[in-house]
Amino acid sequence: MARELVIMECTECKRRNYTTTKEKRNTPERLEKKKYCPFERKHTVHKETR
């Protein structure tokens, strides 16, 4: 199965900083990861956008 490309958006500054892949069959819900935001200059929660 092919993995799907998803875009991660910062919850604080609302900028789309990262892309990653996921297997939709295993994780149908939206991803949430704590990643570094270069605009905020700190680690923030990033959520998957649709």
Report d(CA 34, CA 4) in Å as an integer. 20
> pLDDT tens for residues 5-37?
999 999 999 999 999 999 999 999 999 999 999
Which whole-number Å values give the CA distances from 1 to 23, 24, 31, 47, in the listed order?
8, 10, 19, 23
pTM equals 0.85
